[in-house]
Structure 1
Amino acid sequence: MGSPSGLPPDPDDPDRERRERDTEPIPRYRDDDPPPGYGPERGERSSYPDDAGYPVDGPPYPDDARSGRTWVRDPEAEYQPPVFSDDELAGLRADAAGSAPRRVLPLEDEPSSLVARYLFPTERYRGEWKRHWIHLTTPILIGVAATFVLGYLSGALANRNIGPLTTIAVLLWFAVMGWVAWKVADWWYDRFILTNKRVMVVNGIITRKVAMMPLARVTDMKYEQTPTGRALNYGTFVLESAGQDQALREIKNLPNPNELYLRVVEEMYEPQAVEARLGKEADEAKADDGA
């Protein structure tokens, strides 16, 4: 290939090979066999206006120049869902030989009443999880410390016959324990939810907060575990999205982070395998009930 100036190429030019490689035409896809669901052309050939291989008045599938055939989608062809063998599903099953059991499974076949109100009818429920009990460490420690400190203080004040201060100490203890109970209830209603469409976090007792992110918009996902998290099996999930503003980014203190990470990634990249496995498990459960 000559240079832009019309002069012959310099054999000692170090960038010659790179320039020639970058200017090579992109080959179009060719195949003598039609793809699934496609058949021989019926009617006139579609026109292809450029080298990209995409037609103006036909399906976006290039013709085969070697055989002179054009493949178009067969309107009589029915969609065939992928079929997975038992060997392919063996690694995903809980009783797979030589593998650890999957610890993260849907807690129930159906979502709880707390979660069901936030799911639309065509959405497929995959599971819901409460945060790890480590999430309650701070309020529980405060409640225990308040019990000892205020208990000792109220006893000392009662021995000195200081009634008003004793009453204040007791009321303060009730206030602290009420706050601890509130935190426990808030933890109970705090759920991380996974469906085939999105991930959600629902929390709050009086003021409900619902944050969600579509799985299609998740560009990166990771989880972090401190040494304590590895010992007690909890971690923090970090979700990155294509948008700058997102309602759901960091989710702290989720249980079984490795298994939960695999569950979310599987739902993102292998949704058909999830459907196949869950359908097989449902069939086996029905067979066991019938037996």
Structure 2
Amino acid sequence: MAYPDDLLGEGEHVLLHRHPHWRMLIRPLLVLLVVGVGGGYLAVLAASSSWRTPLWGALGVIGGVLLIWLFLTPLLRWWTTHFVVTSQRLMVREGVLTRSGVHIPVDRINSVRSRRGLIDRLLGSGTLIVESASDEPLEFDDISDVDRVQSLLYGTFDEDSEGQHPAG
């Protein structure tokens, strides 16, 4: 994957690169559907009014604001959030206008735990809890196939699935 290539050190290679689980997009997609159908219905109702042009303009502005706030912003947040495991570290980068990130060297990770509720198990996601040498535990929500990620961080990654074995 092209995203972290400029952040990699010499000899470092990407083992896993993911965005948060797709379930984060369910609510924004429902908003898109409701705003589209509701706005269309209200536009049809306003068509018979003598005030139709200002009403359509108001519906367009309200619909546009709702779509930017409740659809586009979460979609961009999902798209710009990266969970990357390399041969040497764990990187989490997020943010649209202001970027923030966490980089943890794999050799400084003390323990990795996962938490999966019923919905998480049904959808194949979970929360990854990483304890490093000197920090409070970090929780990463909505990680796809969290058990595989946990195994990868412990170095028990199955060589047949990716053709690579983590170093370090």
Interval containing the TM-score (normalised by the shorter chain): 0.7 to 0.9
Q: What is the correspondence of 1:1-291 to structure 2 with a 5 Å cutoff?
A: 111-112=1-2, 114-162=3-51, 163-179=53-69, 180-244=71-135, 249-266=138-155, 278=164
Structure 1 residues not aligned, in runs of 5+: 1-110, 280-291
Alpha-carbon distance in 2 for matches of 1:232, 1:245: 28
Alpha-carbon distance in 1 for matches of 2:80, 2:135: 28
Alpha-carbon distance in 2 for matches of 1:184, 1:260: 23
Alpha-carbon distance in 1 for matches of 2:132, 2:149: 19
What amino acid is aligned across from residue 104 of structure 2 in structure 1? M
What amino acid is aligned across from residue 175 of structure 1 in structure 2? V
**Higher mean C-alpha deviation, range 130-139 or range 205-214:** 205-214
Q: TM-score, structure 2 length as denominator?
A: 0.81
Alpha-carbon distance in 2 for matches of 1:136, 1:151: 22
Larger radius of gyration: 1
**Structure (1/2) with the larger strand percentage:** 2
RCO comparison, higher one (Cα < 8 Å, 6+): 2
Counterpart contact for 2:126–2:143, Cα < 8 Å:
yes
Alpha-carbon distance in 2 for matches of 1:257, 1:127: 12
Counterpart contact for 1:130–1:191, Cα < 8 Å:
yes
Residue-by-residue CA offset, 1:71-93 (whole Å, 9 max, x unaligned): xxxxxxxxxxxxxxxxxxxxxxx
- Going from structure 1 to structure 2, the CA distance change for 1:244 and 1:263 (only over 3 Å counts) comes to closer
**Structure (1/2) with the larger helix percentage:** 2
- Going from structure 1 to structure 2, the CA distance change for 1:208 and 1:262 (only over 3 Å counts) comes to same
Question: What's the % identity of the aligned pairs?
Answer: 21
Equivalent residue pairs, number = 160
1:188: how far off? 2.2
Q: TM-score, structure 1 length as denominator?
A: 0.49
